[in-house]
Amino acid sequence: MKKTYIKALAALMLSVGATSCGDSFLETEISNGLDIEESLNSVQKLGYALNGTYYRLFHYYFSGNYATSIGDIASDITYWNGSTGHWSDFYQFTPTETSTYLYYIWNYGYKVANNSSRIIEAGKGLTDLTEEDQSDLDEFMAEAYALRAYAHFQLVNVFAHQYMVNGTSFASQPGIVIIDEPVKEFQQVSRATVGETYSAIESDLKKSLEYFDKAGWENDGIFYITPAAVYGLLSRVYLYEEKYAESAQAAQDALDLKDITELAYTDASYKALYNGGASNDESFFALNINTIDNWSANSCGTLWSDYSYSPSPYLQSIMADDDVRRAVWGWNSKSTASKPIFTSGKFGAFGLGGNSAYGTNYLINAPEMFLNQAESYLKLNRLDDAKDALLVVAKRNPAIASVADLPATADDLFSFIQEERARELFQEGMRLYDLRRWDVKANLNATGAPEIKWFIKNFKVSDCVYPIPADEINAGYGVTQNANWAATFPSI
**pLDDT, position 491:** 79
**pLDDT, position 37:** 54
Give every residue of the chain whose pLDDT is below 50, as ranges: 1-34
- How buried is residue 382: exposed, middle or buried, by Cβ count under 10 Å (0-12/13-18/19+)? middle
**pLDDT, position 77:** 98
**pLDDT, position 474:** 95
Q: Are the CB atoms for 375 and 239 separated by under 8 Å?
A: yes
**pLDDT, position 492:** 67
State the CB neighbour count (10 A cutoff) for residue 397: 20
**pLDDT, position 6:** 37
**pLDDT, position 39:** 80
Query: How does pLDDT run across 274-308, given as a tens digit for each residue?
Result: 999 999 999 999 999 999 999 999 999 999 999 99
**pLDDT, position 219:** 65
**pLDDT, position 32:** 39
DSSP string, 102-131: HHHHHHHHHHHHHHHHHHHHHHHT--S--H
Q: Are the CB atoms for 303 and 66 separated by under 8 Å?
A: no
Q: Which domains does the chain have, with CATH numbers?
A: 9-485 (1.25.40.390)
**pLDDT, position 96:** 97
